């Protein structure tokens, strides 16, 4: 049964829970904003930087990471609403310079597929194309030779490259840079005074520094930000938790607080509709992708949201439209899943009456599974996955490659069966929590390994 819903948002209660859970999980600083009963409540806890001791406050700026994709999706759907973009037409019709390594695939990929991560474009291709206003145009050109994760329309594979292509479409159709289009079409109409895209814009605010390293003493990261300007559409929005929730509130009915219409109600409803199911229901706790957000079903209660990460910072957004509830949690530690899991379960339960499933983990008595067929080498841009089998058990090694080579040590873990094709492994990058690893086949029979919502095709069977 759903949890009991509190009749009034209890600020003192949730401040206490944020303080306690942040300390328990060794997160230096966190901000939380909650939309409930038509009002936005903002809370903060801890410090922005363990070296300086500057306190986190509700007006502190954090990096949102991939939550930026939802902002880009809103821009794209606004253009479609105006009749300036056909979501189901090939991208090359509006962006002739767009290309992939597969000429046949290039001719068929649509904006709808890019929005729902079904275009086949990969994720982990980061290219610094400079600080100029042409950085996205240069990025799209540089990505032309990057391998696809899968043929378009055959699977959902989380794609940052696809969102940069969408960002470039925004630029071509508006005549503005992506940064300026975001400002003119979303930030200003919504009154998001604490939302920006460039680091120099953040300097006049209190800004969070990321932290990494083992608990209980994570250290400030050596650099505040490693993403180039060209990462904007997929990962470079900077904001307060309150501004994130103000943006999310617009996604409920399409209007700003003063009644200004930003998007049609039909458009935001379309964004929140399940477009592509995914086999991995655990990484985001979602059913799949809408046109931008992740789509959730909490025991029959629909919701949407997105997660994000940057160097030493994590963010999450969840919205329950039927309850008029949204919350954003921003943190300055790279391993905050436990804080998020506990807080979101309590918050959505008590404020929205939602039952959030428990954390992903293998069963106490794992099933017997023939694991030998899963052994082999899997490859996508930026990552090599090696799966070996010994005495009926699988060992998993996840190594960064290409432009990401050396960015972090390999993830290495034994895999525990959860069900046929679904396994659990410990992930030291995110606090030694269980991560799902799935083995599936594409419609053409290609074997794949799914991790972090991304598809990596098998390139070599076990010897």
Active centre residues (catalytic): 66
The HSE-up count of residue 40 (CA atoms within 13 Å, CB side) is 21
The encoded tokens of residue 300 equal 């029959």
- Residue 170's alpha-carbon distances to 74, 84, 224, 308, in angstroms, are 10, 10, 28, 22
Long-range contacts of 39-46 (CB under 8 A, 24+ apart): 39/9, 40/242, 40/245, 40/246, 40/249, 41/9, 41/11, 41/14, 42/240, 42/241, 42/242, 43/11, 43/14, 43/15, 43/18, 45/15, 45/18, 45/19, 46/19, 46/22
How far apart are the C-alpha atoms of 194 and 330, rounded to whole Å?
14
Name the 3-class secondary structure at 199: helix
DSSP secondary structure string, 206-217?
Answer: EEPPPEESSTT-
DSSP secondary structure string, 177-197?
Answer: -HHHHHIIIIIHHHT-TTEES
Looking up tokens 């059913």 gives 287
Round to the nearest angstrom and report the end-to-end CA distance of the chain.
Answer: 50
Instruction: Please tell me whether the peptide bond between 216 and the residue prior to it is cis, using omega within 30 degrees of 0.
Output: yes
Q: CB atoms < 10 A from the CB of 189, how many?
A: 17
The residues facing 294 across adjacent strands are 289, 305
Cβ-based neighbours of 410, under 8 Å, separated by 6 or more: 397, 398, 399, 400
Sign of torsion over alpha carbons 13, 16, 18, 20: negative
């Amino acid at each position: 049964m759903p949890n009991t819903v509190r009749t009034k948002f209890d600020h003192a209660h949730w401040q206490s829970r944020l303080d306690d859970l942040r300390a328990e999980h060794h997160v230096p600083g966190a901000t939380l904003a909650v939309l409930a009963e038509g009002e936005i409540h903002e809370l903060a806890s801890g410090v922005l930087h363990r070296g300086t001791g500057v306190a986190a406050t509700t007006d502190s700026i954090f990096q949102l990471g991939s939550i930026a994709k939802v902002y880009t999706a809103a821009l794209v759907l606004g253009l479609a609403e105006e009749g300036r973009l056909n979501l189901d037409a090939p991208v090359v019709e509006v962006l002739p310079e767009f290309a992939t390594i597969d000429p046949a695939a290039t001719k068929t990929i649509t904006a709808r597929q890019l929005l729902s991560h079904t275009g086949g474009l990969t994720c982990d291709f980061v290219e610094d194309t400079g600080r100029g206003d042409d950085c996205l145009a240069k990025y799209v050109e540089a990505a032309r030779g990057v391998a696809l994760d899968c043929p378009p329309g055959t699977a959902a594979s989380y794609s940052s490259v696809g969102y940069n292509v969408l960002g470039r479409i925004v630029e071509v159709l508006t005549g503005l840079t992506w940064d300026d289009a975001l400002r003119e079409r979303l930030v200003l109409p919504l009154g998001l005074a604490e939302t920006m895209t460039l680091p120099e814009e953040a300097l006049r605010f209190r800004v969070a520094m990321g932290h990494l390293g083992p608990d209980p003493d994570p250290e400030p990261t050596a650099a505040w930000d490693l993403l180039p300007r060209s990462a904007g559409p997929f990962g470079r929005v900077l904001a307060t938790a309150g501004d994130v929730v103000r943006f999310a509130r617009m996604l409920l009915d399409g209007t700003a607080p003063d009644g200004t219409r930003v998007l049609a109600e039909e458009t935001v409803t379309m964004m929140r509709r399940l477009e592509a199911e995914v086999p991995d229901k655990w990484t985001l706790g979602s059913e799949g992708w809408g046109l931008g957000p992740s789509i959730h079903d909490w025991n029959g209660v629909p919701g949407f949201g997105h997660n994000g990460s940057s160097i030493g910072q994590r963010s999450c957004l969840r919205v329950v439209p039927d309850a008029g509830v949204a919350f954003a949690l921003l943190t300055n530690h790279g391993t905050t899943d436990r804080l998020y899991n506990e807080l979101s379960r309590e918050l959505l339960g008590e404020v929205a009456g939602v039952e959030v499933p428990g954390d992903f983990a293998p069963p106490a008595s794992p099933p017997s599974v023939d694991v030998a067929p899963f052994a082999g080498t899997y490859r996508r841009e930026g990552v090599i996955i090696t799966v070996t089998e010994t005495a009926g058990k699988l060992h998993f090694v996840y190594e960064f490659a290409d432009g990401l080579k050396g960015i972090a040590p390999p993830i290495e873990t034994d895999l525990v069966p959860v069900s046929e094709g679904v396994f659990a492994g410990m992930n030291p990058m995110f606090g030694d929590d269980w991560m799902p690893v799935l083995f599936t086949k594409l419609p053409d029979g290609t074997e794949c390994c799914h991790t972090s919502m991304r598809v990596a095709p098998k390139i070599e069977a076990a010897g």
